[in-house]
Structure formats: structure tokens, C-alpha cells
């Protein structure tokens, strides 16, 4: 058995008295695309944020590529990671948000080069070549010299994807990457993501785009109320859901 890219077991998270994750179990194999569906407030973003160290978990454990991310309780012992370990792990996990958060005063090329040069200390020439290659991959090589404000939302989101890829992540997390876009711009971003999936990138995608889930996902996970309610192939979960909660959700979004 190979080590899964993500292994989450009994993950719990609360904010004050609000229990947001109530024991999440999820494995993602290398090269797999997992789409997480679920109503607003079900804990999808929180779960992604825990995988990427943006939130600390309160119970259970998360491993990425065999390495501990969250703490593990064994015999009451809690293992905390060193800051340097956390920083290194975060670099290997790319995240794309609903809001693209590009640096407005940087060109598209500078946005994509920033982390490789500033964080990974890549030589500028090499980082530039790679950045141009990534912009080609997201279909925006001709926009290298433009500023974010000169781009459409869909183009900005594709730059954000290229910027995340520039750190050579072994895992990419997408949190509703098309939810802030005008409907006519959604397709170009989903097409870009489909291309990454076909290239074998391991991806966890939170989205309400059922068509994308059906076409691209290896597995669909339905979350509600801080638990995984149902998980399976797109056909199983989307066409033959077993849980009434999944059925009710799908009837609202389909
Ligand atoms: P989803 O992404 O599925 O819509 P979230 O993970 O964003 O759900 O949120 C789950 C619940 O946790 C919501 O009730 C939300 O209000 C709450 N929550 C999320 N982040 C915080 C926070 N930093 N502090 C307090 N409550 C939060
Ligand atoms: Mg969310």
C-alpha cells in the first residue's frame, strides 16, 4: 500500500462552543481528485484550512504525504509541530480561494514569481521561465505584463492558480474557486482545473459545480453538519445518493 496524500482521521474542530468538525475521516490518494459538496456552514472551508495549517485541529489527526499535520493524541500525549516544520509543510500545499487575493501592485508575472524567488530562493531567471510556463498552462502567457485590475475575474483566478502551482505543491486545495465569478467566466477556470487533474495533480475541490464533480472527480464527498455524510464515485453520490440529506441538497443545487 502506498501512503495516501491526505489521511484525515476523526478530525475535530470547534470555535468556542460551536463544534464545526465532528470527526472527519477522509483519505485522498496521490493523483486523485476529490470534490467536497455540502451546504453552507457544513465545515468544508474549515476542513481545508486545517489541512493547510490555517487552523489548528482540536482532535484526531491529519497526515499529508505521510507527515503529521495536525496533532495526534496517543495515550493522552499531544504532539506539537515546530514552526519551521509547519512553514515547510505549508509550502508544499497550494490553496486557491474564492477571492483571488493577487498582489495588485505586481504584474501577473511578478505575482507568479514572488513566492519561488522570495520564499524558495529560486534564481530569478529560472523562476521567470517557470512562471511563463505556468502562465501558458493556464492560458495567460500573453498577460504576463498586465496588472490584476486589467484582467477579468476568471483570468485573475487562473493567475492565482498559476501562483499556487509555482511552489510545486504536491497537493492543491480549492475552496469554491468559481463562486465569486460571473457565470460566463466559470467555465474557463473549471477547464484549467480539469487540465491540472488530467496532468495527475492531487486535488481537493470544494465547489457547487456539479458538472465539474461529475466529469472530473474520482470521488465525491458530501459533508453536512461537520461530518462526512456520504462518499463515493460521482455516479454513486450524485445519481444514487443513499442519505436523505444528500438527496435534499442535490435537489436544491441540480
Ligand atoms: P462551509 O465552508 O462549509 O460553508 P465553514 O467551514 O466556513 O463552512 O464554517 C463552518 C461553521 O464554522 C460556520 O458556522 C461558521 O460560521 C463557523 N466558523 C468558521 N470559521 C470560524 C471562525 N474563525 N470563528 C468562528 N466561527 C467560525
Ligand atoms: Mg466555505
What is the pLDDT at residue 78? Answer: 64
Ligand 1: residue of 11, 20, 47 to mutate (most ligand atoms within 8 A of CB) is: 20
Distance CA 63, CA 73 (A): 13
Counting atoms of ligand 1 from 1, which one is nearest the CA of 176? 2
Ligand 2 center from residue 130 Cα (angstroms): 31
User: Is the pLDDT score of 75 beyond 90?
Assistant: no
Whether ligand 1 lies within 6 angstroms of the CB of 45 is answered as yes
Ligand 2 center from residue 40 Cα (angstroms): 7
Long-range Cβ pairs for the range 114-120 (8 Å, 24+) = 114/163, 115/163, 115/166, 115/167, 116/166, 116/167, 119/91, 119/167, 120/91, 120/167
What is the pLDDT at residue 231? Answer: 97
pLDDT cut 70: percent of the chain above it = 96
Nearest Cα residue to 186 out of 194, 174, 178 = 178
User: Is the pLDDT score of 72 beyond 70?
Assistant: no
Whether ligand 1 lies within 6 angstroms of the CB of 40 is answered as yes
pLDDT per position as a tens digit, 20-50: 999 999 999 999 999 999 999 999 999 999 9
Closest listed ligand to the CA of 20: 1
Amino acid at each position: 500500500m502506498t501512503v495516501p496524500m491526505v489521511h484525515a482521521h476523526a478530525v475535530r474542530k470547534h470555535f468556542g462552543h460551536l463544534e464545526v468538525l465532528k470527526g472527519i475521516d477522509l483519505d485522498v490518494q496521490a493523483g486523485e481528485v476529490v470534490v467536497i459538496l455540502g451546504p453552507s456552514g457544513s465545515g468544508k472551508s474549515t476542513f481545508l484550512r486545517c489541512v493547510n495549517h490555517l487552523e489548528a485541529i482540536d482532535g484526531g489527526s491529519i497526515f499529508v504525504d505521510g507527515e503529521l499535520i495536525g496533532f495526534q493524541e496517543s495515550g493522552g500525549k499531544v504532539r506539537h509541530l515546530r514552526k519551521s516544520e509547519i512553514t515547510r509543510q505549508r509550502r508544499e500545499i497550494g490553496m486557491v480561494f474564492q477571492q483571488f487575493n493577487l498582489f495588485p501592485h505586481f504584474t501577473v508575472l511578478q505575482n507568479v514569481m514572488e513566492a519561488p524567488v522570495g520564499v524558495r530562493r529560486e534564481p530569478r531567471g529560472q523562476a521567470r521561465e517557470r512562471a511563463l510556463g505556468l502562465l501558458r498552462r493556464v492560458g495567460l502567457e500573453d498577460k504576463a505584463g498586465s496588472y490584476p485590475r486589467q484582467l477579468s475575474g476568471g483570468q485573475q483566478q487562473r493567475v492565482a492558480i498559476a501562483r499556487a502551482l509555482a511552489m510545486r505543491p504536491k497537493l492543491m486545495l480549492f475552496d469554491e474557486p468559481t463562486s465569486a465569478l460571473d457565470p460566463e467566466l466559470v467555465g474557463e477556470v473549471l477547464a484549467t482545473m480539469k487540465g491540472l487533474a488530467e496532468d495527475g495533480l492531487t486535488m481537493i475541490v470544494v465547489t457547487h459545480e456539479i458538472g465539474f464533480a461529475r466529469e472530473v472527480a474520482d470521488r465525491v464527498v458530501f459533508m453536512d453538519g461537520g461530518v462526512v455524510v456520504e462518499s463515493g464515485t460521482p455516479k454513486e453520490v450524485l445519481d444514487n445518493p443513499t442519505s436523505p440529506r444528500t438527496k435534499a441538497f442535490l435537489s436544491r443545487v441540480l
